[in-house]
Amino acid sequence: MSFPTLFTDAKGGILTPYIKQNCQILKNYLKLGGYETARKALSMTPDQIIEEVTKSNLRGLGGAGFPAGRKWSFIPKNSTKPTYLVINADEGEPGTCKDKYVIMGASHVLLEGIIIASHAINAHTCYIYIRGEYVEPARILQKAIDDAYEAKILGKSVLGTGYALDVYLHRGAGAYICGEETALIESLEGKKGWPRMKPPFPAIEGLFRCPTIVNNVETISYVPSIINKGGEWFAKLGTERNGGYRFYSVSGHVNRPGVYELPVGTTLRTILYDYAGGIRGGKKLKAVVPGGSSTPPLRPEEIDVKMDFDSLSAIGSMLGSAGVMAMDEDTCLLDMLMVTTRFYHHESCGQCTPCREGTGWMDKVITRMARGEGRIEDVDNLAEIANGIMGNTICPLGDAAAMPVLGYLKKFREEFESHAKYGKCHQGEFTSWTASAGSQR
Amino acid sequence: MPTITIDGKSIEVEKGTTIMQAADKLGIILPRYCYHPGLSIVGQCRICLVEIEKMPKLQVACYTPVTDGMVVHTQSPKAMRGRKDVLEFLLVNHPLDCPVCDQAGECFLQDYYMKIGQYDSKMVEDKNKKHKALDIGPHVMLDSERCILCTRCVRFCNEISKSNELGIFNRGDHAELLPYPGRRLDNPYSVNTVDICPVGALTEKDFRFEARVWYLKQTDSICPGCSTGCNISVHTNTVRDHHAESRRVVRLKPRYNAEVNKWWMCDFGRYSYKPVDEATRITAPMLKHGDNWIATTWQVAIEAIADKIKKALPQKKSGQIGVWASPQMTNEDLFVLRQFTETLGINHIAMTVTPRERPFSDNYLIREDKNPNTRGAIALGYDTDMQASRDLYRLAFDRLLSVLFIFHHDLTLGFEAEHLAAALGNVPTIIFIGPNRNATSEFAHILLPAAAWPEKDGTFTNFAGRVQRMRAAVQPLGDARTEWMILKRLGKPLGLSVPYVEAGDVFAAIGRNVPAFSGLTYESVGSFGVMLKS
């Protein structure tokens, strides 16, 4: 399998070499010294592993950015209940497609990470929750799991050490909300994917009401390298409080869209103009979404920001899942906001009021504006609706729907006012997506 | 124990108490839809948002546990804004069909709009369409568009009735409450879902379009449906008598009692009010002439009965008197009846008639004994064994009774109708005293109209020995009277003086004379009842 849209920096990245050498196949991974780190980790104590991961400044790469080592340390000691490791492979954030590459090209790196993380939290059962649409990745991953069992890498005695670990692959049924960790847990338990109220956090009461760690595919896949080369090595690659490399999924109007494994803290300008080859057709950049569709967009003058969790939140956006979406000067941002809001409306689980009713309401208002039937008060009303959702919901989906609305309105307000006044962008230069459906620019 | 300050008032509470519960204790009543004290806490509706110092986001009061030193503001601009926003969201897809909605007047959406809303709506979009007027069970109708998805009913069916009929289907603003495919909301407690529904989504078929709630008067009472003695409110309509087919009692609602029924009641009990306004009610004393019943006055009826009794008194040896008392009667009725029988020397007294078919019961609120006051009868010295009924039946069959009083009972439930006809045919004078005619009253020679239970002041003693008070919700129909008053009047020509004027007088006398009730008065029984002395 080749990965023509996978790129990295001159140093070669951390996971990219494994993906390029098809480490979804066991013998390829073993040739590269696969599972040796797991063997080493199993001889370490759980506390040593957690310490090493804490030192590495590895943050949760699913989007929330919670320090991985600290999360693991929340598992209660001397619990009489079993502990579970759950891998979140329900990659659903629009603009993000990196876990797919890791699964399809480096399944065994993920499995090795699972062995190490399980040992760190004393879990003997791991569930991988993969999004339903990932049919081929699920097939590849299941094959890798089967091969690992056959090679006695998983099962009753992992690598002959006597440590038992079972790994189960569970396919979701296509709900974005099941990427939220507690909804994912509910779904794994066979229930409707409704997020739970916190606390208790999953580390105390998660899957089957037992202590559970939920980590993203990418996060866990970096663990073998950290244990192999040391936490400090990883930490140095990134920024002060956010270590290592990570995958940036770059899409939109760039010359070379793709998945880029780059050091954390690479500037957005470098990613867009150096790695992704700049804006298509020599056009000007109008807006860029830095971390998946739920993150507030940036204006062209803001792209010198370093791409790490702290730098982006300092300027009022988020790194999230690092799904970078670039939009050129011809893009109608009302259209962009419409499809974004429609997505969150469609994916709202319906459990709590602000998100259930607010997402649908915003969708209706924006769609009406896109039809050219907007009113000037709609712009403020939209912000009020979004503010009513923001922070008032059970899970972050409400915020995910409200943040882009607030972000676009704040940074590109004139465009929305233009739609409200004239029914189109910029006094008639462009018509909206719905009006010109079928003729894509 | 942690101490919390809410709106400047401090209170120390048990560990694990939520802000909502602490606020309730302080008398600060926060709005609520999904929160119900009898159900699990889900924090879904978000209407109870409050501001907590040192927390950046608003938090739901229902779910957040109190921690020591917590300072909560329920009336800060931010908290009030949050609740107002949530209310506006709840009404985005709500049809606002209050003029045709049964819930109007007792709807939490209306109440909170007046309390915390009062905004001008920004909503100009088309509302979502959902199922209307769905027949989801024998007693309950569903209007999905009115539903605010608080899931109280879902949790009731999962946690209380444990029948799991309801679920939420689909996602987002298309989410909809429905019974699971192939299921109906059919369990013995189904109508409680209507009680706890904060809006007009679940309505009761029996009450639908019958009356507007603001015309209803509520009276505290006790369900007469079985020996559990669930606390209820009797809802009566006497100001719009053309409503509800002129029924005076239009519905029963459970009333909270921590020791008995919590917030709930069963569907059988809920519809036990039906006979109260039925055509079978006896509204005047009746004498039988041939095959016809002739209405008469109390005076005529009492004189006729006193005459028969005088001839049959034990010392006259011209026959005997039997009494079939009923555990449907109140403690007050049974106490005066005991005085009556003791004064006249009547000792053929039966109480319980065990039905031939075993009635439905469960391990929760529904008990096999369908009488509200069997325990009270025992405490007042009555023999509640079915053998007493068999003995009385035997006496009647053997032509040894000349006068037989039957209170309430439909004896055909306990005896074969053919044999019963033979037995009762052997008694020259049968006096039936009850609120409604039944198969047994047709064998009587004199009918006396008794007040139905919502027309009575009195007490029942439930199976566990809890004495509970019911209050008259409506006036007795026609000439009907409470049984103890009938006995008072009947006693007069027979030399029995009953000095009581009100039910409370009778109860006070019970407190003086019956050890199990010693010292009890209506004041000490209160709203939630009191246990008999063992």
% of chain A residues with pLDDT over 90: 92
Tell me the chain A residues in contact with residue B43 when contact means C-beta distances shorter than 8 Å. 197, 352, 394
pLDDT at B271 over 60: yes
Of the CA atoms within 13 Å of residue A375, those in its CB half-sphere come to 9
Judge: B58–A391 Cβ closer than 8 Å, yes or no: yes
**Nearest CA to CA, how far is A183 from chain B (Å)?**
13
Q: What is the full DSSP assignment across A165-225?
A: BEEEEEE--S-GGGGSHHHHHHHHTTS---PPPSSSPTTTS-GGGS-EEEEEHHHHHTHHH
pLDDT at A439 over 50: no
The Cα–Cα gap between A201 and B26 comes to 30
Task: Choose the mutation target among B57, B130, B173, B177 for the interface with A, i.e. most A CBs under 10 Å.
Answer: B173
- Would residue B151 be called left, alpha or beta, if left means φ above 0 and alpha means ψ between -120 and 50 degrees? left
For residues B428-444, average pLDDT: 95
Pick from A197, A354, A377: CB nearest B89: A354
Tell me the chain B residues in contact with residue A177 when contact means C-beta distances shorter than 8 Å. 171
Judge: A352–B46 Cβ closer than 8 Å, yes or no: yes
For A355, name the nearest residue in chain B, comparing CA atoms only.
B172
Q: What is the pLDDT of residue B507?
A: 97
Pick from B46, B47, B173: CB nearest A360: B173
pLDDT at A349 over 80: yes
pTM given for the model: 0.94
Q: What is the pLDDT of residue B313?
A: 78
Residue B116 in contact with partner chain A when CB distance is under 8 A? no
Of the CA atoms within 13 Å of residue B443, those in its CB half-sphere come to 25
Q: What is the pLDDT of residue B244?
A: 82
Residue B25, judged by CB atoms within 10 A of its CB (0-12, 13-18, 19+), counts as middle
Tell me the chain B residues in contact with residue A385 when contact means C-beta distances shorter than 8 Å. 122
ipTM of the complex: 0.93
Tell me the chain A residues in contact with residue B44 when contact means C-beta distances shorter than 8 Å. 351-353, 394
What radius of gyration, in Å, describes the C-alpha atoms of chain A? 22
Q: Which residue has the higher pLDDT, B347 or B176?
A: B176
Residue B82 in contact with partner chain A when CB distance is under 8 A? yes
Q: What is the pLDDT of residue B315?
A: 67
**Nearest CA to CA, how far is A379 from chain B (Å)?**
12
pLDDT at A441 over 60: no
Distances (CA, A) of A346 to B86, B101, B388: 20, 30, 70
Q: What is the pLDDT of residue B138?
A: 97
* Residues B318/B345, Cβ–Cβ less than 8 Å: no
End-to-end CA distance of chain A: 32
Tell me the chain B residues in contact with residue A349 when contact means C-beta distances shorter than 8 Å. 171-172, 175
- Collect all residues with Cβ–Cβ distance below 8 Å to B265 and sequence separation of at least 6: B189, B192, B223, B230, B232, B252, B253, B254, B365
The Cα–Cα gap between A419 and A338 comes to 12
Judge: A353–B86 Cβ closer than 8 Å, yes or no: yes
The Cα–Cα gap between A317 and A319 comes to 7
* Residues A285/A252, Cβ–Cβ less than 8 Å: no
Coil, strand or helix: which one is A10? coil
pLDDT at B317 over 70: no
Tell me the chain A residues in contact with residue B41 when contact means C-beta distances shorter than 8 Å. 197
The Cα–Cα gap between A265 and A280 comes to 24
Q: What is the pLDDT of residue B316?
A: 66
Average pLDDT, chain B: 95
Q: What is the full DSSP assignment across B466-492?
A: EEEEE---SPPSTT-B-HHHHHHHHHG
Q: Which amino acid is at B351?
A: M
Pick from A351, A361, A391: CB nearest B123: A361
Residue B96 in contact with partner chain A when CB distance is under 8 A? no
Q: What is the pLDDT of residue A76?
A: 94
Give A36-92 pLDDT, tens digit per residue. 999 999 999 999 999 999 999 999 999 999 999 999 999 998 889 999 999 999 999
Q: Taking every pair of C-alpha atoms in chain A, what is the biggest distance, in angstroms?
A: 71
Q: Is the link from the previous residue into B515 a cis peptide, with omega within 30 of 0?
A: no
The Cα–Cα gap between B24 and B29 comes to 6
Query: Which residue, chain included where needed, has tokens 């969708």?
Result: A363
- Collect all residues with Cβ–Cβ distance below 8 Å to A227 and sequence separation of at least 6: A37, A40, A41, A44, A49, A52, A53, A116
Tell me the chain B residues in contact with residue A357 when contact means C-beta distances shorter than 8 Å. 89-90, 92-93, 173
Q: What is the pLDDT of residue A78?
A: 86
Judge: B172–A388 Cβ closer than 8 Å, yes or no: no
Pick from A350, A354, A381: CB nearest B171: A350
The β-bridge partners of A167 are A126
Q: What is the pLDDT of residue A381?
A: 96
Segment 362-401 of chain B within 8 Å of chain A by CB? none
**Nearest CA to CA, how far is A185 from chain B (Å)?**
16
Tell me the chain A residues in contact with residue B92 when contact means C-beta distances shorter than 8 Å. 357-358, 360-361
The β-bridge partners of B312 are none
Which string of b and e fits B410-429 if b means at least 16 CB within 10 Å?
A: bbbbbbeeeebeebbeebeb
Tell me the chain B residues in contact with residue A186 when contact means C-beta distances shorter than 8 Å. none
Q: What is the full DSSP assignment across A275-340?
A: IS-SBGGGPPEEEEESSSTTSPPB-GGGTTSBSSHHHHHHTT---TT-EEEEEETT--HHHHHHHH
Task: Choose the mutation target among B67, B171, B177 for the interface with A, i.e. most A CBs under 10 Å.
Answer: B171
Distances (CA, A) of A275 to A2, A247, A311, A328, B93: 19, 13, 20, 17, 47
Judge: A353–B148 Cβ closer than 8 Å, yes or no: yes
Q: Which helix (H) or strand (E) holds B433?
A: strand B429-434
Confidence of residue A152 (pLDDT cuts 50, 70, 90): very high
For residues A199-226, average pLDDT: 96
pLDDT at B314 over 90: no
For B149, name the nearest residue in chain A, comparing CA atoms only.
A351
Pick from A349, A354, A360: CB nearest B86: A354
The Cα–Cα gap between A60 and A67 comes to 6
Judge: B172–A346 Cβ closer than 8 Å, yes or no: yes
Q: How many CB pairs under 8 A join A and B?
A: 99
- What torsion, rounded to 10 degrees, do the Cα atoms B314, B318, B324, B329 define? -60
For residues B51-64, average pLDDT: 96
Pick from B57, B148, B170: CB nearest A391: B57
**Chain A residues whose C-beta sits inside 8 Å of any chain B C-beta:** 175, 177, 192, 197, 345-354, 356-361, 364-365, 368, 377, 381, 384-385, 387-388, 391-394
The Cα–Cα gap between A412 and A301 comes to 13
Coil, strand or helix: which one is B179? strand
Of the CA atoms within 13 Å of residue A321, those in its CB half-sphere come to 29
- Collect all residues with Cβ–Cβ distance below 8 Å to A296 and sequence separation of at least 6: A316, A317, A318, A403, A404, A406, A407, A408, A410, A411
Q: What is the pLDDT of residue B239?
A: 87
pLDDT at B26 over 80: yes
Confidence of residue A109 (pLDDT cuts 50, 70, 90): very high
Distances (CA, A) of B148 to A140, A353, A396, B32, B85: 43, 8, 21, 12, 15
Tell me the chain B residues in contact with residue A197 when contact means C-beta distances shorter than 8 Å. 41-43, 63
pLDDT at A295 over 50: yes
Residue B141 in contact with partner chain A when CB distance is under 8 A? no
pLDDT at B530 over 90: yes
The Cα–Cα gap between A310 and A264 comes to 11
Distances (CA, A) of B113 to A111, A368, B80, B93: 54, 27, 12, 15
The Cα–Cα gap between A281 and A441 comes to 12
For residues B66-83, average pLDDT: 96
Which of B276, B229, B248, B299 minimizes the C-alpha distance to B448? B299
For B267, other C-beta atoms within 10 Å of its C-beta total: 22
Tokens of B174: 């298309």
Q: What is the pLDDT of residue A429?
A: 52
Q: What is the pLDDT of residue A437?
A: 42
Residue B55 in contact with partner chain A when CB distance is under 8 A? no
Confidence of residue B398 (pLDDT cuts 50, 70, 90): very high
Q: Taking every pair of C-alpha atoms in chain B, what is the biggest distance, in angstroms?
A: 90
> Do the bridges between strand B249-254 and strand B231-237 make them parallel or antiparallel, or are there none, so unpaired?
antiparallel
Tell me the chain B residues in contact with residue A353 when contact means C-beta distances shorter than 8 Å. 44-47, 86, 89-90, 148-149
**Nearest CA to CA, how far is A174 from chain B (Å)?**
12
For B125, name the nearest residue in chain A, comparing CA atoms only.
A364
Of A22-26, A265-269, B345-349, B509-513, give the lowest mean pLDDT range. B345-349
In degrees and rounded to multiples of 5, residue A178 shows phi and psi of -70, 0
pLDDT at B236 over 70: yes
Give B466-497 pLDDT, tens digit per residue. 999 999 999 999 999 999 999 999 999 998 99
Of A417-421, B95-99, B322-326, B460-464, give the lowest mean pLDDT range. A417-421
For A391, name the nearest residue in chain B, comparing CA atoms only.
B57
pLDDT at A282 over 60: yes
Q: What is the pLDDT of residue A79?
A: 87
Task: Choose the mutation target among B18, B41, B46 for the interface with A, i.e. most A CBs under 10 Å.
Answer: B46
Judge: B173–A387 Cβ closer than 8 Å, yes or no: no
